[in-house]
Amino acid sequence: MKGSRIVLGVSGGIAAYKSCELLRLLTEAGHSVRVIPTVSALEFVAVPTWAALSGEPVSTQVWETVHEVPHVRIGQSAELVVVAPATADLLARAAHGIADDLLTNTLLTVRCPVVYAPAMHTEMWEHPATIENVATLRRRGAIVLDPAVGRLTGADTGKGRLPEPEEIFAVLSRILRRGTVASVPDFAGRRVVVTAGGTREYLDPVRFLGNASSGKQGYAFARTAAARGAKVTLIAANVALADPAGVDVVRVTSTDELRLAVHQAAVGADVVVMAAAPSDYRPADYSEHKLKRADNAAPVLKLVPNPDIAAELGRSKPEGQILLVFAAETVAGPAAITNAQAKLAAKQADLVVLNVVGRDKVFGADHNAATVIDTAGTATDLGPAEKADLADMVWDLVSARWETHSATK
């Protein structure tokens, strides 16, 4: 990862100030970053700021340092290009091959991965022209991250906010770590659904049944899929993590809410990853008021089963859709493998990820190890590794299944 030559394009949006933080993250990680702002971007952040933070010269036009042919040389040497923010105007010019400044000229000469992080008002993002331009760029192999939902300029709120710099940096890091050089990302055009976290089943307004799932592994699946070019929907159950860049996040609380959201999102999806830990049971009765403690008398809770979401997906999944489920076991060994294989069959899934869990193990940790078992009985041991690396290893297995399926058609 370290020492990569990166071009940071900045177009003229109010979110340009956030790119200063992205630049700092990239340079502190050891990368050489050449900033190419548009003329409009300099209305928000001036040349001295970009030059001081990058330690590199800053130009906007092809007419500066002409003898170095910058509009060709910069693109030829780049290992990764990111445009953040990417305005509707910049996306339109890039999609139509217009080269009227140094940034758009550079975008025509690069042969490395290109990432756009759009930022604009909701109406502009949803305009048919922008939708078509984004589709064109993605079809050509660029990774166009969906903008985040949140506060925009003025009092407006909606989809169009630039993802946080740390999350854009995470996407760029995954691309560099994988050494992606393909002209088209391997998940381009794929729709991915990922669940994460643990559901809560409330007994009263303040107490609930739940579990220790942090959502970190599910979020890692979402981040890495986005970095490989997928359109990702992340269904998060009670997770206190930053939204991954370029991912649509749906927040839920209970197992019933998770069930509804997953069934809606799974329509038309290429793969569904059930990384969340839904509660198996819920209280039969809910108290509208806080249950009072009785002297030396423990309450008796009557529980009823929750629906088996993974099994429902397995029974109804269309041909070609891949269902990936998780099996959490507290003791490793042959019995754990047998239990995971039984779960794979019961859910009618395609892959099962077996984790050995427990106190200070997997839940809440940044690293993980797993055994992935497919319907043919093949078991693949992965890790220990960072959860993002492990997610990429699992995605490699999914990608291989897609390639095999395509080859047999």
Catalytic residue set: 211
Instruction: For residues 360 and 294, give the distance between their C-alpha atoms in angstroms, rounded to a whole number.
Output: 33
Between CA 288 and CA 222 the distance in angstroms is 36
Q: Are 303 and 282 in contact (CB under 8 A)?
A: yes
Per DSSP, what are the bridge partners of residue 194? Answer: 234, 273
- In three-state secondary structure terms, 195 is strand
Say if residues 79 and 4 touch (Cβ distance below 8 Å).
Answer: yes
| Residue of 13, 46, 20, 26 whose CA lies nearest to 147 | 13
Cβ neighbours of residue 314 closer than 8 Å, sequence gap 6 or more: 323, 347, 348, 349
Residue type at 268? G
**Chain mean position to CA 48:** 33
> 33: Cβ–Cβ under 8 A, 6 or more apart, which residues?
6, 7, 8, 23, 26, 27, 54, 56
SS3 305: strand
Sign of the Cα pseudo-torsion (60, 61, 64, 66, in order): positive
Helix axes 16-28, 165-178, angle to 10 degrees: 40
